[in-house]
Amino acid sequence: LNPHFLFNTMNSISSLMRSDIDAADSMLEQMGSLLRMTLERRDVQLIPLHDEIEFIETYLAMQDRRYTGRVIRTLSVDPELHDALVPAMILQPIVENAYVHGVSKLDRGGELTIEVSSDGGRIWARVTNSGRGLAAARNCPSTGHGVGLSNVKNRLHLHYGEDCSFSIVEIDPSHVQVSIAFPLQLSQNALETVTRFGV
């Protein structure tokens, strides 16, 4: 987790304590859940997709609190990929980047779409966000800009060598999409279920 995210979250909780105790309590609980999930994974490199999505949903719930009314988001995951193995924390840096360099720059009407699907024996994950586009992001200096995405790219190559892809493209002047793809691999539990029922 980006330390800046944790710092900003704690500031948000502190502010909410003065205006909405229940909201502050909920946000604190969500932050605790994120930290718990991060610690429980320890050095595990590959996790079931449903665990990664649980983490992302908690992260998004916290961002919803910070960007109330400013972002319309969509999360779409192919249910058949529930037990697919993915690198731990592979989506969160991409989603965080979408907030930091995209939708956070908008006062209203922000869009964030997260899609995970499969095609040709590969998992495809696409994160699309509105904002100021790539040129504006490049021209705006910011601490650590691009580090999260570089880490995602490096980790993909560490796990899959050349059998993966990473791209970031400007769909139009106000929408950016990050896409990653890597081989589809089921967890052992899923394989055992398939074997047991002879599917």
Amino acid at 45: Q
Is the distance from CB of 122 to CB of 184 less than 8 angstroms?
yes
What pLDDT score was predicted for residue 134?
66
Amino acid at 128: T
Identify the band that residue 52 occupies on the pLDDT scale cut at 50, 70 and 90.
very high
Average pLDDT over residues 158-165: 95
What pLDDT score was predicted for residue 135?
62
What pLDDT score was predicted for residue 195?
41
| Burial label, 99 (beta-carbon count in 10 A; 0-12, 13-18, 19+) | buried
Query: Which residue in the block uniquely carries the two structure tokens 């994160």?
Result: 127
Residue 137 has pLDDT above 80, yes or no: no
For 11-34, write each residue's pLDDT tens digit: 888 888 888 888 888 888 888 887
Is the distance from CB of 157 to CB of 164 less than 8 angstroms?
yes
This model's pTM is above 0.85? no
C-alpha span between 62 and 29 (Å, rounded):
10
Least confident segment among 50-54, 67-71, 115-119, 156-160: 67-71
Identify the band that residue 191 occupies on the pLDDT scale cut at 50, 70 and 90.
very low
Contacts of 161 (CB under 8 A, 6+ apart): none
Start-to-end CA distance of the chain, whole Å, equals: 39
From the list 121, 71, 119, 78, the residue with the least C-alpha distance to 95 is 71
Residues constituting the chain: 199
